[in-house]
Amino acid sequence: MAETGQRLILGFDFGTRRIGVAVGNELTRSARALEPLPARDGIPDWTRVARLVEEWQPDLFVVGLPVNMDGSESVMSTRARKFGKRLFGRYGIPCEMADERGSTREAKAIAREAGHRGNYREDSVDGLAAVLILEAWLARTEGLPPRP
């Protein structure tokens, strides 16, 4: 486990076809996108996830929780929670869920501003959405003591 304020975190934007991935740390309170994971009905290639865990050796996972605008949970919320539980079960690394309301919409707007024109399968915004989720989580936890 990293020292106080220096934990490395892998963030995920759960999806049924692709799972966005970002890496960040508490010290800089920033994140950067990694290559999205292809998924089949929400199930990633766990070998690729294991490689990410081995390469980055995260202290924590943060998974975006897709809730409705009124705060209620959906079927996708249940699936994202299940993904988070599987991450913890496979790697023994704590996993926190983070409200991701609006992250995909914001990622698409940022991509449009950068000149990407609507083909989101080719111009995947999943990694950018994972960055937004992780950076929002980092901003919300600023000043809080690290969790054990």
pTM for this structure?
0.82
The CA distance from 87 to 4, in Å, is 23
- Domains in the chain, ordered, with CATH? 8-141 (3.30.420.140)
pLDDT value of position 120: 47
User: Taking Cα atoms as reference points, which of 127, 101, 102 lies closest to residue 114?
Assistant: 127
Report which DSSP code applies to 71.
Answer: S
pLDDT value of position 122: 42
Tell me the pLDDT of the chain (148 aa) as tens digits. 555 568 999 999 999 999 999 999 988 888 999 999 999 999 999 999 999 999 999 999 999 998 888 888 889 999 999 999 999 999 999 999 998 876 666 666 666 666 655 544 444 688 888 999 999 999 887 655 444 4
DSSP assignment of 33-68: EEEEEEEETTEE-HHHHHHHHHHH--SEEEEEE-B-
